[in-house]
Structure 1
Amino acid sequence: MFGTSGIRGPIGETVTAALALSVGRAVGSTDIDRAVIGRDPRHSGEILSDAVSAGLRECGVDVIDIGLAATPTIARSVAWRGADTGISVTASHNPPADNGLKLWQPTGQAFDESRRAEITGRVEAENYDLATWDGIGNERSWDGATERHAEALVDAGTEVSDCSVVVDIGTGAGGVTATALHRLGCAVETINAQPDGSFPARPSEPTEETLTSLRAQVATTDADLGVAHDGDADRLVAVDETGRFVSGDRLLALFAREAVSRGDEVAAPVNTSLAVDDTLEPLGASVTRTRVGDVHVAERATSETVVFGGEPSGAWIWPDETLCPDGPLAACKLAELVDEAGPLSSLLEAVERYPIRRESIETNAKGTRMSQVRDHVVAAYDDVTTIDGVRIGFDDGWVLIRASGTQPLIRLTAEARDPDRADDLLDTARSVVSRAEA
């Protein structure tokens, strides 16, 4: 039921009001008293929010509905309102026909594996602890959540003296970013700022291809920086002052470099570039790798030695602030860095850009083949990680062989410091999968 980031899928198929009601009942049956709910602007959000709230209240849980809000606002509000759980109604960067549910702990961390398993088990068994008629929970609204988030971002930040930022909200829920940046002292211009869950201006997922308006706006003005969110603003991506898109790996390296001291660790998934390792090594810091998915990065970020966690997809976690990926917080930190240290393009010159190769192999037996790949690789290579697919480390690069979570494919990724070596490593990955087929 749960994917790498909550429950998500097409409305009326995978995700229905009936499912939302069941999840509300399941969460409400886990010995909690109060829950916060909120949603992104997708057209189906109100229906699902109502259903989740009904399920929670049926089990005696009091609900605080904060309405339209960014996912990090919802996650942070759990602690702010003394609640036990938070639920975001969102499909994040997915298309408008999708919606979903993300579940949060008071620390801002998403539900971990054991909690997800408990909710799944209760839904599948219809095992709910429904309240009696006089024990039903009540619901009230709170319209101060976004303001509280903006205040928290300003309190955690540093005043900016001279930085002009264009914020592409993508017609999503991330308007808090513009508010916080303005209060920190930035000159702020917004585009696609009116919430609209059909995402008419651009797709919800912010990529180099979808951010043509932002890139052009920054390139043709005196803006120092451009930032963009997905629909629920848990993600943040950036363009430099020339309008050039910044890859997630390089942004991860930049954030990590600013966060670490000697002996610190940065949590990042197995598909993260060597550029992050090479950036941190001279500082006496290192990368600890996780499964793909910000929920797994957040779990690792609970370690005392981890000071920052991130995914190249645009999820950034500063555990001292919150264990939820907080796109608005990332925007503020990036603006502060540019204001203090100079143009983003110049800052990125210190971060290497290595060649990476990708390929997919079709198969109707990906589970069996991945098991065979794992057995062969563990026996044949020394530096092997099997927490998510199979990652083989070499002195000058790495390969990742990983089954697609949604398609009949095995995905191959290879990176090296040299282009020819990257090609060689992709060949190595192909041969490993071919051996498994034999």
Structure 2
Amino acid sequence: MFGTSGIRGPVGETVTAELALSVGRALGVEAERVVVGRDARESGRLLTDALTAGLRESGTDAVDLGLAATPTVARAVGWEDADAGVAITASHNPPADNGLKLWQPSGQAFDEPRRERISERVREDAADLRAWDDLGGRESADARERHVEALADAVAVDDPPTVVVDVGNGAGGVTVDALQRLGCHVETLNAQPDGAFPGRPSEPTAEHCTSLASLVAESDADLGIAHDGDADRTRAVAGDGTYLSGDVTLALFARAAASEGDRVAAPVDTSLAVDDHLAEAGVSVTRTKVGDVYVAERVTDEGVVFGGEPSGAWIWPDATLCPDGPLAACKLAALASDRPLAERAAEVETYPIRRDSVGTDEKRAVMERVAERVTAAYEDVSTLDGVRVDLGDGWFLLRASGTQPLVRITAEARDETRADAVFAEARDVLDAAV
């Protein structure tokens, strides 16, 4: 029922009021107080009502934040002395989707054992419904100002830049407030919350952020920020209008956060560019499974000071264990105030990456055959998430899609010719397994 990013899918099919009610009842078995917030999708209102009904039937108090960024919800679990939080959002998915993502008081998303515990209760309809005089309450709260204060306390901006924030018609308006609190001059794009995402698709890819890049390039702005629908993701545009790749952004954040001997956490599909850039400063990379919940788990290890995913999720463990898009925006403003992002990005040497996928209805069997062949043929193999082969001067990853009948191929090397050869080698391995 749960993926690594919670429950997501089409409203009225995968995600229904009945499901939200069941999750509320299941969570209510173990929680006395739960924070709930939603993104701008209209379906979020009815899902909030259903979820809180399930909580209250179980004797659990619900704290309703209303429209709120997912990192605001995650942080508010601790602020409200709650046992859990639920963000009703499909994040960067299309308007037809919605979902539920559960949070711990630490700010970390529910890990696999906790997700499975909720799933089992939903499957077995294992609720603890209370009598009429023992129902939970429902109260309203606004955690946005508390989030703004936390961001202003966490980041110092010596020479506040001019920033354009593309809110993406989502719930990330807290970023605008925080940047203004830090003294930045802020202009906005798509700032009106609208779950149909009329300004641009919710995921802040380079293709979807062309208006932001053009506005930054043609104005006196020093920085552009783009969020997805619930503001857990942040992508950046440098002052010259260049959209920064996720790997480059990860390298910049990590280099600023880490000192010699520190480690940073990043998933198995992260570019060698990050490793090489950080190695110059004596910083190493520890690989995780793909998914912010796995990055969050790793940043709790000793010596790991930052974690990120090239998709746009960034975690500073000294602040919170959730991907906090507004915090990332403020960190970018601090970097841009000290030195142009374009200059910083130019110091990160990037390498050619090849990607493709092969369709199959037997993903598990195919990946078992891949693992068997690869472990017999190569020395440096990781099966942490899919099968990743380190060739020294390059690497390839074969990994089953979590949502589609596909096995994905990723290959990288430090020059074009070698990247093509590594990709061909990986494709041969997969073709043989299929």
The 1-side partners of 2:204 and 2:267 are apart by 20
Among candidates 388, 402, 408, match of residue 411 of structure 1: 408
The 5 Å alignment of 1:257-296 reads: 257-296=255-294
1:228 is the counterpart of 2:219 = no
Among candidates 297, 308, 311, match of residue 310 of structure 1: 308
Cα deviation for residue 65 of structure 1 reads 0.5
SS in structure 2 at match of 1:127? coil
Cα deviation for residue 162 of structure 1 reads 3.6
Among candidates 410, 429, 434, match of residue 432 of structure 1: 429
In the alignment, structure 1 segments of 5+ residues that lack a partner are none
The 2-side partners of 1:331 and 1:403 are apart by 32
1:73 is the counterpart of 2:89 = no
Among candidates 334, 341, 344, match of residue 344 of structure 1: 341
2:386, 2:397 within 8 Å by CA — same for their partners in 1? yes
1:192 is the counterpart of 2:190 = yes
The 1-side partners of 2:35 and 2:331 are apart by 27
Which residue number in structure 2 is paired with residue 51 of structure 1?
50
The 5 Å alignment of 1:32-431 reads: 32-143=31-142, 145-340=143-338, 342-431=339-428
The 2-side partners of 1:206 and 1:159 are apart by 25
Cα deviation for residue 124 of structure 1 reads 0.5
2:87, 2:102 within 8 Å by CA — same for their partners in 1? yes
Cα deviation for residue 227 of structure 1 reads 0.5
Cα deviation for residue 266 of structure 1 reads 0.8
Q: Deviations over 1:180-228 (max 9, x none)?
A: 1111111111111011111011001111111121111101101000000
Cα deviation for residue 406 of structure 1 reads 2.1
Residue identity matched to 2:304? V
2:160, 2:182 within 8 Å by CA — same for their partners in 1? no
Residue identity matched to 1:268? A
SS in structure 2 at match of 1:87? strand
The 2-side partners of 1:366 and 1:318 are apart by 34
Cα deviation for residue 233 of structure 1 reads 0.2
Q: Deviations over 1:331-387 (max 9, x none)?
A: 0001001101x1111011111110000111122222111101001111211111101
The 2-side partners of 1:297 and 1:373 are apart by 25
SS in structure 2 at match of 1:49? helix
Cα deviation for residue 160 of structure 1 reads 3.6
Which residue number in structure 2 is paired with residue 23 of structure 1?
23
Q: Deviations over 1:381-434 (max 9, x none)?
A: 111110111000111111000112222221111001011100000011012113
RMSD: 0.9
The 1-side partners of 2:214 and 2:278 are apart by 32
Q: Deviations over 1:270-294 (max 9, x none)?
A: 0000011101112222111111111
Count of aligned residue pairs for this structure pair? 434
The 1-side partners of 2:229 and 2:406 are apart by 28
Cα deviation for residue 307 of structure 1 reads 0.6
SS in structure 2 at match of 1:227? strand
1:8 is the counterpart of 2:8 = yes
The 1-side partners of 2:26 and 2:376 are apart by 43
SS in structure 2 at match of 1:283? coil
The 2-side partners of 1:343 and 1:289 are apart by 29
In the alignment, structure 2 segments of 5+ residues that lack a partner are none
Cα deviation for residue 90 of structure 1 reads 0.3
Task: Tell me the TM-score normalized by structure 1.
Answer: 0.98
The 1-side partners of 2:360 and 2:229 are apart by 33
2:160, 2:334 within 8 Å by CA — same for their partners in 1? no
Residue identity matched to 1:301? V
The 2-side partners of 1:436 and 1:7 are apart by 31
Residue identity matched to 2:266? A
1:160, 1:185 within 8 Å by CA — same for their partners in 2? no
Cα deviation for residue 14 of structure 1 reads 0.2
SS in structure 1 at match of 2:322? coil
SS in structure 1 at match of 2:264? strand
The 2-side partners of 1:163 and 1:338 are apart by 7
Runs of 4+ in 1 over 6 A off after TM superposition: none
Residues 192/282 of structure 1: CA separation in 2 closer, same or farther (3 Å cut)? same
Cα deviation for residue 4 of structure 1 reads 2.1
Residue identity matched to 1:128? A
The 2-side partners of 1:169 and 1:364 are apart by 38
State which drifts further: 152-161 or 224-233: 152-161
The 2-side partners of 1:226 and 1:161 are apart by 16
Task: Tell me the TM-score normalized by structure 2.
Answer: 0.99
SS in structure 1 at match of 2:90? coil
Cα deviation for residue 132 of structure 1 reads 2.4
SS in structure 2 at match of 1:219? helix
Residue identity matched to 2:136? G
SS in structure 2 at match of 1:100? strand
Cα deviation for residue 3 of structure 1 reads 1.2
The 2-side partners of 1:127 and 1:163 are apart by 53
